[in-house]
Amino acid sequence: MYLVDTNFLGELATLYPEDVFPSLWKALETTLFSELVFFHEEVDKELRAWKHPSLAWYEQHLKQDQVVQIDEGDFAVYAEVAQWVEEDRHPKYNSPAVDEFLECADSWLVAAAYRYKRAIVTIEVPAPGGKKKVKIPDVASHFAIECIGTIEFLRRLEVRI
């Protein structure tokens, strides 16, 4: 099962626009909006707040049970992720990087993936020694969470166009 990062839909809209790749978008209507794929509540909020280019398409096909809601069980896991990012990671991240990570959907996405044992779909790439930006793949790696990119995700969903 997969949790999708906000940037996945942005990359799709930019690199594979629906008017040029209509068969891809048609295939995603059934594969992306299935029982294997989930969007965290905070990712859903980001998509809506940013008035994402694919928002109308996303809203049209999203099933409400695909949105992972925050519940009491998430807070302990979130605290563990936050602890590692703020205090335990070496080299330490810069304070603005930590603040940005904890204030956006990324931190909740990693916590949910850790709690529910799901892979994260993101276009972010690791920067293991980086200090200026907390990258999802680096935090995920520490917690043994798999991160995959767009093409691997499409392969696993068996999307063919």
* Token couple for 71: 């519940």
Q: Render pLDDT for 106-124 as a digit per residue (tens, 0 to 9).
A: 999 999 999 999 999 999 9
Q: Render pLDDT for 40-67 as a digit per residue (tens, 0 to 9).
A: 999 999 999 988 778 899 999 999 999 9
Whether residue 106 is contained in a domain is answered as yes
pTM of the model: 0.95
Which letter does DSSP use for residue 51 in this model?
A: T
- Give the range of the structural domain holding residue 80, as residue numbers without chain letter: 2-156
Whether residue 77 is contained in a domain is answered as yes
- Element housing 5 (H / E): none
**In the chain, how many domains are there?**
1
Does 30 score more than 90 pLDDT?
yes
Whether residue 71 is contained in a domain is answered as yes
Whether residue 161 is contained in a domain is answered as no
What CATH number does the domain containing 80 carry?
Answer: 3.40.50.1010
Give the rounded distance of the alpha carbon of 117 from its chain centre. 14
